[in-house]
């Protein structure tokens, strides 16, 4: 069964929880996952969108797989290692066969592409609860997003004031801050324009 997508009411609920505009939450979803948070592998197999990060797997496994599995374990970030799309699960499966916890922590998950190692920041007691929500529905993705934002006072403030440079840095890291900030702001303006026309 296709996992349930978010509704406008879901976005409104999240906006109330975060005291921000629904349009900016929609912008995150669009930029991070191009809208829907799942890939379809078959009629009965839907999996959350992921991106596996080899430099994080290196960190969580102390680099012991760098030589034997260089496509999933790297001491530095390397864009060329990405398979993109559904094939990212090939990399995740390979990593999990070596060290399941490290593998799950080393991927970004779902509609808002939250790294697995941030599960506790999102309000989950154990990693598996986070993973279960990622597989269940987009509402699970949204709840994790809310928890993640609420865990960072500076990010929350930036969301409310639409400080896109700070949003980019706090949410996506120090790489390509200006580019990410412009993308978030541009998509936010598009959604805001649509809402104003309704």
152-190 pLDDT tens trace: 999 999 999 999 999 999 999 888 899 999 999 999 999
By percentage, how much of the chain surpasses pLDDT 70? Answer: 98
Residue 187, H or E segment: helix 177-197
Assess contact for 37 and 110: CB atoms under 8 A.
yes
109: which 2 tokens?
A: 């998950």
> Taking 80 as the threshold, does the pLDDT of residue 31 lie above it?
yes
Which pLDDT belongs to residue 60? 98
CB-based contacts of 96, cutoff 8 Å, min separation 6? 103, 104
Which pLDDT belongs to residue 174? 84
Distance in angstroms (rounded) separating the CA atoms of residues 99 and 82:
19
For the chain, give the mean pLDDT.
95
Q: Do the strands 50-52 and 45-48 form a parallel or antiparallel pair, or are they unpaired?
A: unpaired
Assess contact for 115 and 124: CB atoms under 8 A.
no
Which pLDDT belongs to residue 162? 95
Q: Please, which pLDDT band fits residue 196 given cuts at 50, 70 and 90?
A: low
Q: Do the strands 107-109 and 50-52 form a parallel or antiparallel pair, or are they unpaired?
A: antiparallel
Q: Please, which pLDDT band fits residue 198 given cuts at 50, 70 and 90?
A: low
Q: Where are the beta strands (DSSP E) in 64-198?
A: 107-109, 114-115
């Amino acid at each position: 069964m296709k996992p349930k997508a978010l509704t406008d009411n879901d976005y409104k609920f999240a906006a109330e929880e975060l005291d921000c505009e629904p349009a900016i939450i929609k912008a995150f979803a669009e930029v991070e996952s191009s809208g829907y948070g799942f890939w379809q592998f078959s009629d009965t197999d839907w999996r959350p969108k992921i991106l596996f990060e080899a430099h994080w797997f290196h960190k969580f496994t102390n680099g012991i797989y760098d030589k034997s599995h260089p496509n999933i374990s790297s001491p530095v970030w390397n864009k060329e290692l990405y398979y993109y799309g559904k094939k990212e699960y090939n990399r995740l499966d390979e990593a999990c066969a070596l060290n399941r916890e490290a593998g799950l922590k080393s991927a970004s998950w779902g509609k808002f592409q939250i790294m697995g190692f941030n599960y506790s920041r999102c309000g989950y007691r154990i990693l598996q609860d986070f993973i279960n929500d990622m597989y269940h529905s987009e509402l699970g993705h949204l709840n994790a997003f809310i928890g993640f934002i609420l865990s960072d006072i500076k990010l929350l403030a930036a969301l409310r004031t639409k400080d896109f440079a700070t949003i980019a840095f706090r949410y996506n890291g120090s790489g390509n801050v200006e580019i990410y900030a412009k993308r978030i702001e541009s998509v936010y303006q598009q959604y805001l324009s649509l809402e104003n026309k309704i």
